[in-house]
Structure 1
Amino acid sequence: MNSGLILTGKDVRLFMGYFLLPGQIKPYGLLPWAGVSEGRSKPGAPITAVMSGSDRVTLFATDPNGGIYTASGSPQGGWGPWAGVSEGRSKPGAPITAVMSGPDRVTLFVTDPNGGIYTASGSPQDGWGPWAGVSEGRSTPGAPIAAVMSGSDRVTLFVTDPNGGIYTASGSPQGGWGPWAGVSEGRCKPGAPIAAVMSNSDRVTLFVTDPNGGIYTASGSPQNGWGPWAGVSEGRSTPGAPIAAVMSGPDRVTLFVADTNGGIYTASGSLQDGWGPWAGVSEGRSTPGAPIAAVMSGSDRVTLFVTDPNGGIYTISIKLRKL
């Protein structure tokens, strides 16, 4: 793989060319952008990043031929070479989902070129196990997969199937995977992204943009079942658009979307206590339905990253009480 663009995963903060590892604060005096070991993907493709050590970031990307590659290192210490992950393949530039499933273990999930859902686990140090199907699950080729650690060794997955149904399955590479089951008859565009957060120790809260552009949420668990879908304060975006969701307090979720005109909006609340109104974020703009990256960069501060209508990459950091 050769050259590239870095976007951030949930545990790495990127401020216009400067990686901030947990505990670091450096909003000003940013360093320039630099290539990562000559890695290459499709223009604008997503890159997944996880903290695989106290000062080590592991990246995953799908190259222009659909091969799945990884590289590790840090901005300070430099980057190792890109290497293939067990000959895995997806659509060129497709997203890769990664979760830390153990102290030195990363578990990956992809949708292959035929729409099959596959997983592999390992690490750059110890190598990668083979790819295996997840309970014969299917989505559209290269579709995103949402994954949360719902127990110490349990991963819960969410996908939108080829007909737009929202499905979930749980398990682990070691213990195997349970069957796929629908989530309260929820529907979205085929292959659309689902946002999933652990809203307490045994409860997952989901967010989707439905086929008409309405923003909806449902909560529950594979063990206890799922509650009904409900609208979030009449919010709207483009059909199937991504929603950014962060846990901004106990039982409180803050959402960010780019609306049908490209305006960046936020709302906070919970299914139990209800949702506050949507409000614009400092007149920010992107393209309609564009993705927004959001990370909690302090106990009461969220940092956002967007690509504007001209392709520029912008960030803003806001105290949640001011939203």
Structure 2
Amino acid sequence: MTSTSRGIDVSAYQPAQDWAAHKRSGLAFAFAKASEGQISRDPKFAAHVKGIKAAGLVAGAYHFAWPNQDAAKEAANYIATVKPYAGAGFLHWLDLEAYSDRRNYRGRTAEQIRAYAVAWIVAAQKAFPGQRVGIYTSADDIAHGHVPAGATLWYPAYPGSRVDTFAEAEAAARPTPSGRKPLIWQFTSTPASGPRVDSNLCYMSASALRTWAKGDAAEDDKPHAYTPPAFPEGLAPGKAKPSAVTLQRALKQGGFMAKSVPESPNYGPKTQAGVIAFHNAHPQYRAAGKSKDPAIGPKGWAALHRLAYDK
């Protein structure tokens, strides 16, 4: 049986919380809305996050996305809001969901929405090196390709009164939208008892979540299944194929990987995320269906090398 832990998330819609009582009741984590769009900030964020941290819960914040606005400006809004409170063990989330009238998605294609998400995540990772950054998003967004491959998922799906307590969520099957396994399931906003808050189940024990939340700076030091392709001689600059370190340096030089990521001989998730960001930044690779591809081919490597060094 999968170990789990319990949590809630809040915004300006919730009053001040007794966070110490929440912890005594068995909660392990809590997230608060920090910002929305390019300039809006949640007026209760500071009070919420201070209480969460003071109670010793795993703390996090989220930004409500407007993919039809500028990703860099939205990330800057979030970063400035959260920076006084973020630190080791703090979790960051992009809330990627459409308003009911889709006004925040209007005029954007699936590829553009995904590119926005990649850009926002890269900016947040750069601002908070070693801290975890994930996406809160719906089954519809996942199915329509709005979510970058490999992103940590916080997933909302409400079964209704059939699952409106933590015990019922723990007994239910883990959701698998489009075959993906979310780390966190937000299963109700109307719990059977207690205050009206969003209730969440994390598929890690409280201790494992706390350890995981401490950061991923060493993630690329762990072996992973992905192996880069063998490149024919002459198609890649300098050598037949790039080593992981060579590729990481080019990704950093090109702005697709945070310079704070340690060099590693393994093609871990940060390296793969950098390759995905590179593919998403170039229309020819998106058109070729490579916008989710963590593997860089010989032509892609040559293009990345030119972009990074031939300036």
Does the pair score TM above 0.5? no
Taking structure 2 as the reference length, what is the TM-score of the superposition? 0.27
Taking structure 1 as the reference length, what is the TM-score of the superposition? 0.26
**Higher helix content, 1 or 2:** 2
Looking at CA atoms only, which structure, 1 or 2, has the larger radius of gyration?
Answer: 2
**Higher strand content, 1 or 2:** 1
By relative contact order (CA 8 Å, sep 6+), the higher-ranking structure is 2
